Amino acid sequence: MLQTARLDEAVEVSGWVKTKRGNKQVCFIALNDGSTIHNMQVVAETEHFPEELLKRVTTGAALRVKGLLVKSAGSGQATEVQARQITVLGDADPEKYPIQPKKHSLEFLRDNAHLRFRTNIFGAVFRVRHAMAFAIHDYFNARGFFYLHAPLITASDAEGAGEMFRVTTLDPLSPPLTADGQVDYKQDFFGKATSLTVSGQLEGELAAMALGKVYTFGPTFRAENSNTTRHLAEFWMVEPEMAFYDIRDNMDLAEDFLKHLIRYALDHCMDDLLYLSRRLQEEEKDRKAEERSAELIEKLNSVLDNPFQRLTYTEAVDVLKCSKANKNGKFQYPVDRWGVDLQSEHERYLVEKHFKRPVILTDYPAEIKAFYMKQNPDAKTVAAMDVLFPQIGEIIGGSQREENLDKLIRRMNEVGIPAESMSWYLDTRRFGSAAHSGFGLGFERLLLFVTGMGNIRDVIPFPRTPKNAEF
Ligand code: ATP
Ligand code: MN
């Protein structure tokens, strides 16, 4: 509307009132219809409208305005609507409406997540979220990938990526029991124990070994009780899986993919990003210069300008072991030996302090990674790759998959997964096996980076976290 209508044309606009100001003669209404961060300024000369009507124009009320699009006399906008007719579609009692034209804390808005879409900040975040989802489909479609819908209900609990939510229709108070007193899942809906999926990867592999290149993009569930700013119990994951790709091809794809998405945001969401950037700087203005984070647009551009730093887990452990932070006891979890799992503090040290750019870590110890990763000739490490980002830590986890049937079964035995239970998965290695690779991108972690938001609960419309499933 702001972009297409011509001057001195009759227009009709609908939206919600952001603010109203003015004097005895004229009233200025900032109206927003959600399509952009910018408001439409509506100018109403008070003599043409009943006082009763203008009183009902309060923050949050829904209006329809008919009028003339004219050049704006004021600064701040090029055009405005000179109102001829105003209809209040829905009042918003200022005594009761929680979202007022002042700064609300993000915590307050989380408690009012059903209304937080009405704020500038969440309008911006969710427009960017849409653009990123669209860009993901666009990226893969243009490169010959097929969008695969992996099931959300699964009977395999072997992936080991996290605790699972059970799916059952059994009576929770008196479930049927087996002879030895266990819950008898044979009598459950699916005739076996089922859960919500922690990843669509295994199914993705099956499809990739026929369609070549596929990706999933859907909700994923983890019942891990980690109350952090980077974990949700329900999050969206993007999982490409490619036949005939080795670990190097996989890394190249991950880097190109992330850069493409960030470039897309800069090209298509600049208004919203500028708003988010200003807000961040506002928030940080009382901090010391060295504690402030980089300006959002600059930070996004800097990822585009530099190749990601690639190094092995072993090299990273050496860097961390010798780091000042480690020697001065700055890490909560000291890095004292090869084989430790890296914590987000270590990942962020490598990215933010040491290399000052995104990092791809490869060749992790087999012990700390999933059973399906390709075993390296050294018999200690696997062809895993994690992409680490500033402020976030791990944003992507992936690997080349073990294609050799015997090696895969041996590893499953070692970690206690009965091969019979995953016979369907092993069939891809029995028939026409080939090198293949893939990775998982946490969609909300990407959004944290692109929007500069600090808490993952603020980049998904309705967050699901421990003790919280409101709305
Ligand atoms: P982390 O170590 O950060 O908990 P992970 O190693 O368990 O992550 P993967 O199983 O490798 O995660 O999942 C792939 C990607 O999914 C991660 O790189 C991350 O971006 C995202 N992810 C994983 N768990 C969560 C979660 N609970 N909430 C949001 N995103 C997640
Ligand atoms: Mn991981």
CATH number at residue 383: 3.30.930.10
Do 70 and 141 lie in one domain? The reply is no
Record the pTM.
0.96
347 lines ligand 1 (CB under 6 A): no
- What residue spans of 144-292 are helical by DSSP H? 201-211, 247-268, 270-284
Q: Residue 213: beta bridge partners?
A: 242
Q: Which atom of ligand 1 is nearest to the CA of 344?
A: 3
Name the residue range of residue 150's domain. 118-163+198-308+357-458
Measure 142 CA to ligand 2 centroid, in angstroms: 27
Do 267 and 378 lie in one domain? The reply is yes
Residue nearest atom 2 in ligand 1 by C-alpha distance: 394
397 lines ligand 1 (CB under 6 A): yes
* CA-to-CA dists, residue 339 to 316, 366, 384, angstroms: 11, 9, 14
200 lines ligand 1 (CB under 6 A): no
The pLDDT of residue 161 is 58
161 lines ligand 1 (CB under 6 A): yes
Measure 209 CA to ligand 2 centroid, in angstroms: 23
The pLDDT of residue 290 is 75
Q: For residue 32, is it within any domain?
A: yes
The C-alpha atoms of residue 56 and residue 20 are separated, in whole angstroms, by: 11
Q: For residue 428, is it within any domain?
A: yes
Q: For residue 36, is it within any domain?
A: yes
Q: Which atom of ligand 1 is nearest to the CA of 386?
A: 18
Strand (E) or helix (H) holding 50: none
Do 88 and 128 lie in one domain? The reply is no
Do 278 and 376 lie in one domain? The reply is yes
Q: For residue 113, is it within any domain?
A: no
Residue nearest atom 7 in ligand 1 by C-alpha distance: 161
Do 69 and 139 lie in one domain? The reply is no
Do 250 and 294 lie in one domain? The reply is yes
Assign 324 to helix, strand or coil: helix
Q: Residue 70: beta bridge partners?
A: 80
- In single-letter form, the type of residue at position 394 comes to E
Do 395 and 295 lie in one domain? The reply is yes
Measure 312 CA to ligand 2 centroid, in angstroms: 15
Do 58 and 95 lie in one domain? The reply is yes
Distance of alpha carbon 273 from the chain centroid: 16
* CA-to-CA dists, residue 76 to 4, 71, 121, 268, 403, angstroms: 19, 12, 19, 22, 61
Q: For residue 327, is it within any domain?
A: no
Ligand sitting nearest the alpha carbon of 396: 1
User: What is the domain-level CATH number for residue 15?
Assistant: 2.40.50.140
The pLDDT of residue 158 is 58
The pLDDT of residue 1 is 58
Q: For residue 108, is it within any domain?
A: no
Q: For residue 453, is it within any domain?
A: yes
Do 91 and 127 lie in one domain? The reply is no
Residue nearest atom 8 in ligand 1 by C-alpha distance: 394
Measure 321 CA to ligand 1 centroid, in angstroms: 25
Cβ atoms of 109 and 37 closer than 8 Å: no
The pLDDT of residue 167 is 96
Strands lying side by side in the sheet with 393-400: 146-147, 213-221, 234-243, 436-442, 393-400, 381-389, 359-365, 309-312
- Which of these three, 101, 133, 153, is where a domain ends? 101
Q: Which atom of ligand 1 is nearest to the CA of 370?
A: 10
Mean pLDDT in consecutive groups of 10 residues from the start of the chain, 471 residues: 78 97 96 97 97 97 97 86 98 95 92 94 98 98 98 80 88 96 96 94 97 98 91 98 98 98 98 96 84 89 96 98 94 95 95 97 97 97 98 97 98 93 96 98 98 97 95 88
The pLDDT of residue 74 is 82
Q: For the chain, what is the domain count?
A: 2
Residue nearest atom 25 in ligand 1 by C-alpha distance: 231
258 CB burial (10 A radius; 0-12, 13-18, 19+): buried
Mutate to test the pocket of ligand 1, among 344, 389, 391, 394 (most ligand atoms within 8 A of CB): 394
Q: For residue 349, is it within any domain?
A: no
